[in-house]
Structure 1
């Protein structure tokens, strides 16, 4: 008879997410994951198949617990006119005020795309979907906030804001002030 599982895969994925986020995929060794999760190698392999399987679970956890909740107000059937500004202000705070994982490490997904793992087709698919989700959410926020603009102007503003958000996420771990400036530029464009 097998042992009774004393952990949930979500808890393990959440813990592993932080290790991968802090160290990156390539610089995270299985002993690091064993120490952080309290699981041995065989339990990790049994539950997730491999280090990569655990990384994929950590990425899904990142999307579920970090990204999607932040974007939720921009993804509903009805988007409030202040939703985009609220999103950008929250992102600014996460990047510039205190010690958050985002401020310390940048975006987990963008970091992974800059590593050798970024050549992996399945990761590229996940990142492309994330980029589309962010663009769609920001587009909805722009439409709600800036109904005074025509469709082409709204699209241009959404592309600009999305680009500024991605740029801020890419630079935040190196220069939080510069990342904050990028988010402030997005806010200024929305408020103009």
Structure 2
């Protein structure tokens, strides 16, 4: 019979998650993972197969306990009209808070900016699916907040807002003030956006 596992799987995954989140996949060495999880390399490999396998478990945990809960109010069938503004405000508060892990940005958006995303089809697919979730949630929030706009205007506004959200998540690790400005811009444009008169394009009122 194999030896029984004597550690808390979820606790190990979340300890590794915090390290990958703050340091990045490539930068998080196996020695740091041993220290963060209090497990030896042999135990980590036995439980997860590899560093890559541990990262997969981390991504599942991150989506379930961090990323998707943030979007929950926007993913309802009938979002509250203020849901998107609350999401933008809450994300901003997290990013500028000295004690928040969100100061490290988004685990998946950070991974998208590394060779891991270009080299690993599975990671690339997960990142693409998650960014699609953000765009879809923001689109629903725009529709609830701005029913005065036609479908094309809502769609263009949603692209603008979701791009600013993704920019903020990418900026947070290096420049939290710039990330906050991106989210402030998303909040402002959400309220001010107006279609141009007799034109196909759309613009925001300053």
What's the secondary structure of 1:147's corresponding residue? coil
Which runs of 5 or more structure 2 residues have no equivalent in the other structure?
A: 193-206
Query: 2:116: which partner in 1?
Result: 117
Which has the greater radius of gyration? 2
Instruction: Say how many residue pairs are matched.
Output: 191
Q: TM-score, normalised by structure 2?
A: 0.88
Q: Separation in 1 of the partners of 2:127 and 2:11?
A: 23
| 1:77 pairs with 2:91 | no
Higher relative CO (CA 8 A, sep ≥ 6), structure 1 or 2? 1
After TM superposition, give the deviation of residue 125 of structure 1 in Å: 0.2
Report the secondary structure of 1:73's partner residue.
helix
The question of 1:172 aligning with 2:172 is answered: yes
For residues 35-184 of structure 1, the aligned pairs below 5 Å read: 35-103=35-103, 105-119=104-118, 120-184=120-184
Counterpart in 2 of 1:186? 186
Instruction: Report the Cα distance in structure 2 between the residues aligned to 1:162 and 1:112, rounded to whole angstroms.
Output: 18
1:131-179 per-residue CA deviation (whole Å, 9 max, x = no partner) reads 1100000011111111111000100111000000011111112221111
How far the C-alpha of 1:55 sits from its partner, in A, is: 0.7
RMSD: 1.3
